[in-house]
Amino acid sequence: MAATNSLTGRSVTIRANDFVAAPTHGCIRFIDDTTNSVAIELGTTLEVGGVQYEWAVASPRLARDNLDSLINAGVLGCGITWVPNSRFKPSVPFDLSWWRGGGAAIADLVL
């Protein structure tokens, strides 16, 4: 795998999708090489249906993809889960065990 740590601090855009109608901008703050996931701190608070989101977790949609794909191509098809402010914990940024529906979509993540 390429130096995925080089992704930390990089600006990204989540393209418009079924959850949000406009692109969402943010910064990669955490990386999980085991699951090829990134935790993104959103540039501005997103409010959807009365719920506020400042974080999203993205992981490759296809089994053949990984974070190297994002580094090399600059774009990666992902499953994105927006994490409500009340649920995000920096000590376990990839914990989505609470998720039972809501802020999620398939979208491209773009460096």
Question: What residue ranges in the chain does DSSP mark as E strands?
Answer: 11-14, 24-32, 37-48, 51-60, 75-84, 104-110
pTM: 0.92
> With contact defined as beta carbons under 8 Å apart, do 40 and 79 qualify?
no
Looking at per-residue confidence, does 102 or 97 come out higher? 97
3-state secondary structure of 57: strand
Residue count of the chain, please give it. Answer: 111
User: Which tens digits make up the pLDDT trace of 19-72?
Assistant: 999 999 999 999 998 889 999 999 999 999 999 999 999 999 988 888 998 999
pLDDT recorded at residue 6: 85
CB-facing half-sphere around the CA of 82: CA atoms within 13 A: 27
Burial of 21 (0-12, 13-18, 19+ CB in 10 A): exposed
Domain regions of the chain by residue span: 4-110
